[in-house]
Amino acid sequence: MPADIDLGYAIGLEPEKAVEYFESKGYQIGFRWQDVAAEAHAKAFTVAGVMKVDVLQDIRQALGDALKKGTTFDDFKRQISPVLQRKGWLGQGMIVDPDTGEIEGKRLNTRRLQTIFQTNMQSAYMAGRYATQLDQVDTHPYWEYVAILDSRTRPAHRVLAGSVYRYDDPFWQTFYPPNGYRCRCRVRTRTAGYIEKNGIAVRAGRANLKQIDQVVGRDNQTRPAIAYTDPATGQTIAPDPGFGANPGAAWQRPFTPPPLDTLPQTLPHGAELPPLPAANRVRSDALLSAGESPQHYAEAFLSRFGADIGKPVTYTDVAGDVLQINDGLFRDTAGNWKADKFGRGPYMQVLADAVKDPDEIWLAWSQVGDGWTLRRRYIRALETESGDWGLAIFEQCKDGWTGVTTFPPKVGKSAEARRAYIDGQRGTFLRWRRPQK
């Protein structure tokens, strides 16, 4: 089996749990790999250096296809290369915005594509193995670290080879493979009978784990990491920077707080969600008159951003993400106005304020046909001068947008009822939240 395609071969066709893991991933844009911490990497789909959401979506789609079909790196490369070439992201050097001069990212060459393919495939596959092995702990409660021992094996991984820990030992929260780019290690499960019969010593990781400052860049920048001191040799080892979190465990946790405030918070179904800040008072003059023309409503929305008909602007939201604000938001494919669709025209200024000054921004991947799109949802809590409570919600993706302002009468003044209603409107990944005072 050729080494450069071993993951595609090992994964095979439709590994259910690995696909579940891969498709559960959100996204995180990071300019350097050091900017994407391991816990966030396990839950958020990321490519270091790629700061354009549409390019991330293209890469994610190609990786998802490769995982489901069990294809090789060469197949992945053939699928994604023409797309990257067309968008100017294939090759060497930086991508620079011609208008602002800002660096948007680093182009992707064959070696980086191979690293992206192997890292994401292996993390997904290992997360699937982790979930499967957890299902077997009643009969196989001991786990053995397995490394391929040849000339390419990292010294740290060689030290770990053959060591055995219980499945619930904290060692596995940090050292469950992969433990670095192109890591070939894995975990083998063992029964209590096998351990006893072969006289294998079961280690306890807790006493040998400690926090260190790990160098993560050429500028000697450090980041806290968990390291392990081998009791036999006294050698202290740690996963490579960016790999110090078990991808399967991070995926399955009901709530994984991010290491940095700028990383998406993963709040899956069933997790306790934070309440929204106090509702924003909506003045009566913020609502436009009913019966105005759709163009009038569109102009009201655009004016909040300094835009106008035929005068687009590029707007950077509070999370640092870029939106194109122009009259195309309010026209259908035939060019007809649609700003008053679903009766939302009078609330256009309120919807604009939800984008400019949201309480929360949520992200969610959703499948549209055979492709994937990233939806960004802005939420702002409202209260009218008469005391009615509601939400303004603006959701945007590459295929268009939707917006709604609602004052649900059944919610009333109950904090519990309002919170339940809010939870139903949120997405999957908390991109940004208004700082609490």
Contact 106, 95 (CB under 8 A): yes
Q: So what's the pLDDT on residue 299? A: 93
Q: So what's the pLDDT on residue 255? A: 25
Dist. CA 143–CA 173, nearest whole Å: 13
Check residue 305 and report its DSSP letter: T
If phi > 0 it is left, if psi is from -120 to 50 it is alpha, else beta; for residue 48 that is: beta
Q: So what's the pLDDT on residue 54? A: 62
Mean pLDDT in residue range 7-22: 40
State both tokens at 334.
Answer: 């035939």
Q: So what's the pLDDT on residue 411? A: 64
Q: Is the pLDDT of residue 429 over 60?
A: yes
Q: Is the pLDDT of residue 57 over 50?
A: yes
Percent of the chain with pLDDT over 70: 66
Alpha helices, DSSP H, located in 186-238: 192-197
Percent of the chain with pLDDT over 90: 13
Q: Which of 198-202, 265-269, 405-409 has the largest mean confidence?
A: 198-202
Q: So what's the pLDDT on residue 363? A: 79
pLDDT digits (tens, 9 = 90+) for 165-181: 998 888 888 888 888 87
Q: So what's the pLDDT on residue 1? A: 25
Mean pLDDT in residue range 52-66: 71
Q: Is the pLDDT of residue 264 over 70?
A: no
Mean pLDDT score across all residues of the chain: 72
pTM (2 decimals)? 0.44
Q: So what's the pLDDT on residue 60? A: 75
Q: Which of 146-155, 209-218, 341-350 has the largest mean confidence?
A: 146-155
Q: Is the pLDDT of residue 41 over 60?
A: no
Q: Pick 101 or 212 by higher pLDDT.
A: 212
Q: So what's the pLDDT on residue 268? A: 39
DSSP string, 93-121: SEEE-TTT--EEEE-B-HHHHHHHHHHHH
* Spatial CB neighbours of 8, under 8 Å, sequence gap ≥ 6: 66, 70, 71, 72, 73, 75, 121
Q: Is the pLDDT of residue 10 over 50?
A: no
Q: Pick 270 or 282 by higher pLDDT.
A: 282
pLDDT digits (tens, 9 = 90+) for 366-382: 665 655 667 788 999 88
Among 254-258, 331-335, 374-378, 423-427, name the one with the lowest average pLDDT.
Answer: 254-258
Q: Pick 46 or 264 by higher pLDDT.
A: 46
Residue 134 — φ and ψ, nearest 5°?
A: -65, -30
Mean pLDDT in residue range 86-94: 70
DSSP string, 270-303: TSPPPPP-SPEEE-GGGSPPTT--HHHHHHHHHH
Q: Is the pLDDT of residue 157 over 80?
A: yes
Q: So what's the pLDDT on residue 2? A: 25
Q: Is the pLDDT of residue 216 over 80?
A: no
What are the C-alpha distances in Å from 357 to residues 196, 296, 433?
Answer: 62, 22, 11
Q: Pick 37 or 21 by higher pLDDT.
A: 21
At residue 206 the predicted structure's pLDDT band, cuts being 50, 70 and 90, is: confident
At residue 266 the predicted structure's pLDDT band, cuts being 50, 70 and 90, is: very low
Burial profile 259-288: b = 16 or more Cβ within 10 angstroms, e = fewer: eeeebbbbbeeeeebeebeebbebeeebeb
Mean pLDDT in residue range 8-15: 32
CA atoms within 13 A of residue 152's CA, in its CB half-sphere:
8
pLDDT digits (tens, 9 = 90+) for 283-300: 877 888 888 898 999 899
Mean pLDDT in residue range 53-66: 73
At residue 256 the predicted structure's pLDDT band, cuts being 50, 70 and 90, is: very low
Mean pLDDT in residue range 37-55: 48
Listed residue (65, 56, 101, 51) closest to 83, CA to CA: 56
